[in-house]
Amino acid sequence: MERLAGNVMLLWGVRRWALAFLAGGFAVLSLPPFNFFAVLFVSFPVLVWLLDGASGEADAGYLGRLKPAFWTGWWFGFGYFVAGLWWLGNALLIEAEEFAWALPLAVLGLPALLALFYGLATAFARALWSDGLGRICALAGGFGLAEWARSLVATGFPWNAIGYGAMPVPMLMQTSLLIGVFGVSALVVFVACIPALIGTRRAMVPGLVVAALLMLFHAGFGYWRLSLATDTQSGQPIVRIVQPSVDQSQKWDDSQRARVFEKLLSLTSAIDPQASARPTYIVWPETSIPFLLTSNPDALVLIGEALETGQTLIAGAVREERDVSGQRTRYYNSIYVIDHEGQILEASDKVHLVPFGEYLPFESLLGSLGMDIIANGPGGFSSGSTRKSVALPAGKRFLPLICYEAIFPQEVTPAAEDADFIINVTNDAWYGNTPGPYQHFQQAQVRAVENGLPLIRAANNGLSAVTDGKGRVLDGLLQNVIGYVDVPLPVKIHVNGSIWTRMHTFWAIIVILLSCALFSRCSFIKAAN
């Protein structure tokens, strides 16, 4: 192991960057649908050894000496995001004649930008570098900060945070309730880097002990929480998830809209011969209604006819809103609540839009260059003003999360406190049969765990599911299956703390890690002098 570590440290140039790229790409196997978390114990020790050898020229100045560390982290991140996000390019092939030119930007350009966060993380860690356990603390703190920053900068994109690699099953998701996914990310990097100590024989024993204790707590807390009895209530409403699995290329095709709508109505009114009760709430996926509902009153009549007395439809749809003058129309990616009489009771708009997918940043500039949004529909979307829980008949309230809003822990704000469950409507048909939908579903699961709220997830072509407040899947539909599933609504689990509590804990972890790194760095410099 020492010889291997030494050989990795001495690599330079193309071989160094290539190994960093491969190590980052290899780490993606820890994520869905593979969930092989042990690969992190290979990728991150390699990164540590590469950083051990990433010392710049002595006369290059302070920032110049950090450049090799930055580029090592950048190549690691580039490999990680290329391997983890390549499926984004599938969305551009839906209308290839219009968007195929942007394929390199999605498959390589976005990973190159996201890799900057990991480059800054490794440069920051290298500034606090020492020998032994201190450098592990520095790298863990740097990655924790990078993942947090990635959720905020330029509207944020925290997809595939490192911490998700340590959450392949619900038992290993429960720690996120205490420290959030960013706290988990920092500690995962710490634990995954520990084998690097075996290669250098410095602080190996204390490092292994601390890592073992963290792993035992991670698994033990999860086992304990899942073993706790969950409150049950009789008479809980039945929820039906409808999964129509509509091909994305047909969704907004004028000739197919009636057929798509009829499929949704048929699945809604279908009778399950084995069911003891009819569903109270029926959930359709994101933008499932293939036209402007308010411009088609006959559609509301048909919805009312498909619903029985006491049933409520919760459907993803495009909502239009005209200004007072009637000259300007805004479109929103929304969720409608519709009763059995075909009346719209509530509407909730998507707040966190997808850049380039749902709206065009710097529209005046980029629009003049011929760029357009990817999402086909009536036009670009406007952002909703605020997020709040939505009231339903029968006394329940839900927190709406539309599509990728579910990947942001901070989107589950105090508005969730009076919610009984989360509804996440999405359309992952853009990405075909790729890892993307599986990664998306896992992140939605973690939102349920963090807040103790059951998750009702309706996806156009899957993965659709109902989970309890501990992230356990009660029932669902696999990808590309056409059908529905009826599940009694799980009971909300009351948890102590909120997103703000988890953020305080996260910052405490970062302070501890960086304090240890700084102490080790000072001791290292003192010993060297």
- Residues annotated as part of the active site: 286, 350, 403
CA distance 267 to 458: 13
Smallest Cα–Cα separation from 434: which of 103, 91, 198, 164?
A: 91
CA distance 277 to 44: 52
Q: In which residue are the tokens 């035992």 written?
A: 216
How large is the C-alpha radius of gyration of the chain? 25
Q: Do residues 244 and 288 make contact, with C-beta atoms less than 8 angstroms apart?
A: yes
The amino acid that residue 9 corresponds to is M
Residue 203 DSSP class? S
Pairing of strands 329-338, 390-391: unpaired
Collapsing DSSP to helix, strand or coil, 468 comes out as coil
Q: Do residues 30 and 41 make contact, with C-beta atoms less than 8 angstroms apart?
A: no
Quick one: which H or E segment has residue 512? helix 499-528
Pairing of strands 421-426, 390-391: unpaired
The token pair at 362 is 């710097």
Quick one: which H or E segment has residue 123? helix 110-127
What's the distance, Cα to Cα, between the start and end of the chain in Å?
A: 29
The residues that bridge with 168 in the sheet, in sequence order, are none
Quick one: which H or E segment has residue 300? helix 297-306
CA distance 241 to 222: 28
- Give pairs for 379-383: CB < 8 Å, separation 24+: 379/329, 379/331, 380/331, 381/331, 381/332, 381/333, 381/350, 381/353, 382/330, 382/331, 382/332, 382/349, 383/349, 383/350, 383/351, 383/352, 383/353, 383/359
The token pair at 394 is 């029968």
Burial class (CB in 10 A: 0-12, 13-18, 19+), 503: middle
Smallest Cα–Cα separation from 347: which of 357, 358, 364, 332?
A: 332
The amino acid that residue 451 corresponds to is N
Q: Do residues 186 and 175 make contact, with C-beta atoms less than 8 angstroms apart?
A: no
CA distance 57 to 72: 15
The amino acid that residue 467 corresponds to is T
* Dihedral sign (CA 299, 304, 305, 308): positive
